[in-house]
Amino acid sequence: MLFNKYRYVVVEGPIGVGKTSLARRLAEHYEVTALLEKPEENPFLARFYEDPARHALSTQLFFLFQRIDEVRHLAQLDLFSNSTVADYLFDKDVLFARLNLSDDEFALYQNIYHSLALQAPAPDLVIYLQASSEALIERVRRRAISYERQITDTYLTRLAQAYSDFFYHYDTAPVFIVNSENLNFVDSDEDFALLLQRIEGMRGQREFFSKGA
C-alpha cells in the first residue's frame, strides 16, 4: 500500500490540473489525513488577480505563513501518527513568488521564506500532475470559481512553464510525474486504480506515467 511506504505524500501541479481532487480521493481511499490549501481564506487573492503588481507581495506572504502553520507539525510524524496527503508542496511557494514579485519584493520574500523553510519537512513522495496550458485554461474556465475569472491565459501558460522548470530541478524527494490530460482519476475507478498501480510500483527517484504508456 502507498502509505505503508510513504508517510507524507504531496500532490502538486499548476492551477486547474486536478491536484486537490486527487489528494481528496487518495485520502478517502487510504483513510489518511488530507491537508488541503485554503485559497478562499486569503483576503488578498481576488485583489491580486485584479491588480497583480499591487497585491502580489501581500498575497504571497499570506500563503507563506498559512502553509508553514499547516506543515510544521508534520515534522513530528512517527509510526503511530496518521499518514498525510497534501495538495501543495511548501517548496513551491518560491515558484509563485519568483513569477509574481518585483526584484525588491522577491529579495524581502526570500529572507522570510528561508527563515521559515527550516521548519517544513520534506515529503516522502511528490506526485506532479502535468497538463498542457490549453487544457489548464479550459479547466479553469469550466469550473468558474469567482476569484479565478480574472486569471489570464498568459498567466496560466507562464505558470505551467514555471512548474515544469521547477520540477526539472527538484530533487528533495522522489517525484512521480503524471500526464493528467487523458486520466479521469476522479470519476473513473479504472483510471484511479491504474494510477495507484503505477505509483505503488515506483522504484526510482523519478518516474513518468501517461495513460497508454
For 29-80, write each residue's pLDDT tens digit.
Answer: 999 999 999 999 999 999 998 899 999 999 999 999 999 999 988 877 665 5
Q: Can you give the pTM of this predicted structure?
A: 0.92
Phi and psi based region of residue 26 (left: phi greater than 0; alpha: psi -120 to 50; beta: remaining)? alpha
Percent of the residues in the chain that have a pLDDT greater than 70, as a whole number: 96
- Bridge partners of 179? 130, 210
pLDDT band at 213 (very low <50, low <70, confident <90, very high): very low
Fold (CATH) for 2-210: Rossmann fold (3.40.50)
- Per DSSP, 147 falls in state G
What's CA 123's distance to the chain center, in Å?
Answer: 12
Q: How far apart are the first and last CA of the chain?
A: 23
